[in-house]
Amino acid sequence: MSERANRVTVEALRTDITTEQVDAVVNAANSRLAGGGGVDGAIHRAAGAAALRRACAALGGCEPGDAKATPGFALAARWIIHTVGPVWRGGGADEEVVLASCYRRSLAVADELGAASIAFPAISTGVYGFPPDLAASVAVRTVRTTPTEVRLVRLVAFDDATLSRYLELLGSWPAGRQDPM
């Protein structure tokens, strides 16, 4: 697959993903889609916890590396794409493969929905313990090389170190923007 397989613009920024004005925001969920802490908790609170809990319950769970969508409810985003990252177990349990699958499958679901813009949190780098630098490399590599109809990908950092890593990987300090490849 060519590095030029898609014409996506990839940006990195530091923000609270619940405020993103994109077609779809990605949630770093758990396999029961039961809600939780971190970005999952923030998304549930901002979208409206009761409505989102009901919509998630109807999806019947989600395997690590897979992704499933609900409406965005009270978010500015029209959809929430719930993906389940790998729990870091030292690196020998296909964690990188599963994490790459989260980004790929989320883009595939975005394509099914017709979403043109999507914002990703740094999946698995919180409670699930995936090393942040390695996770950023997987994220950038995967969104750059996955064929998709999505035109804008925002990689949302919640801390300066993650933002710096994204910017370094995107090779565009300080703007954090990568125009069509």
Nearest to 141 by CA among 112, 110, 175, 165: 165
- Residue 37 lies near ligand AR6 (rule: CB under 6 A): yes
Site string for ligand AR6, 76-105 (x = CB under 6 A): ---------x--------------------
How far, in Å, CA of 26 to CA of 28, rounded?
A: 7
Structure tokens belonging to residue 181: 């490849």
- Residue 39 lies near ligand AR6 (rule: CB under 6 A): yes
Among 101, 117, 124, 178, binds ligand AR6 (CB under 6 A): 124
- Residue 35 in contact with residue 178, Cβ under 8 Å? no
Nearest distance in Å: CB 123, ligand AR6 = 5
Q: Known catalytic residue: 16?
A: no
CA-only gyration radius of the chain, Å: 15
- Residue 122 lies near ligand AR6 (rule: CB under 6 A): yes
Q: Which residues are catalytic?
A: 40
